[in-house]
Amino acid sequence: MKKLILAFAMILSISISLSAQSTSKDAKNDKPKTELKAHVCTDACKNGKHVLAHGEKGHVCTKECKMKM
């Protein structure tokens, strides 16, 4: 009886330790990166200062940009 309880406890501890392993890092690395498109000037670009839209090369998201998403 003691051996049965010990075997059950060992199997339970092994199954818990295996299920605790996470693959979230692997899942993040598997995501394909979106390709950024080249900047196309709009009416907002004036006097050599460019206004980069979300998804264009060189764009850095701000709080306002993240709120729009």
Q: For the segment 44-69, what is each residue's pLDDT rounded down to a tens digit?
A: 899 888 888 888 888 888 888 777 76
pTM of the entire predicted model: 0.43
Q: Binning pLDDT at 50, 70 and 90, where does residue 21 land?
A: low
Q: How high is the pLDDT of residue 31?
A: 55
DSSP 17-40: HHHT---HHHHHHHSPPPPPBPP-
Is the Cα torsion angle 20, 26, 28, 32 positive or negative in sign? Answer: negative
Please give the Cα distance from 47 to 43 (Å, whole number). 11
